[in-house]
Amino acid sequence: MTHGRTSYVCLPCRVSYKQAYDRGRERICPRCAEPMIHAGSAFAAPRRRDTGAWRALTVLLNAGVGFHKSCCGGPGFRPRSLREVRERLAYAERSGEPVARALKRYDVPWIGRPGRR
């Protein structure tokens, strides 16, 4: 039985590679020889020149948020812009919710003073 391929990401080089998943093996970037991060099988890399998307992706992957398929298809909502990431990080700080869970929220409830967003 062949196993599916999954994505590994090198954040400094802004590249991703699909390779067979092996939990015990560390993947090394062929461009810079740094360790790569396992992103998941449902990962779709942004364009290399889209710096905002790569910065948002860096926050997600460093917080432990992956792009793994669920029973219904894809990984669910993931923020794609820095603005969406900042909103969710601010919400996590205000509410005390773990950062990884706040980053996966589709809608961010507003908590704070009236008149400010």
In a domain, 117, yes or no: no
The structural domain count of the chain equals: 1
DSSP 84: H
In a domain, 110, yes or no: no
In a domain, 60, yes or no: yes
Decide: pTM greater than 0.85.
no
pLDDT tens figures, 84-107: 899 999 999 999 999 999 998 888
In a domain, 33, yes or no: yes
What gap in Å lies between CA 14 and CA 9, rounded to an integer? 7
In a domain, 112, yes or no: no
Q: Is 98 left (phi over 0), alpha (psi -120 to 50) or beta?
A: beta
In a domain, 42, yes or no: yes
Q: Which domain range does residue 40 map to? A: 5-103
* For the ranges 31-35, 77-81, 108-112, the one whose mean pLDDT is highest: 31-35
Mean pLDDT of the chain: 86
In the structure, what pLDDT confidence band is assigned to residue 33 with cuts at 50, 70 and 90?
very high
In a domain, 55, yes or no: yes
In a domain, 57, yes or no: yes
In the structure, what pLDDT confidence band is assigned to residue 74 with cuts at 50, 70 and 90?
low
On whether the CB atoms of residues 50 and 43 are closer than 8 A, the answer is: no
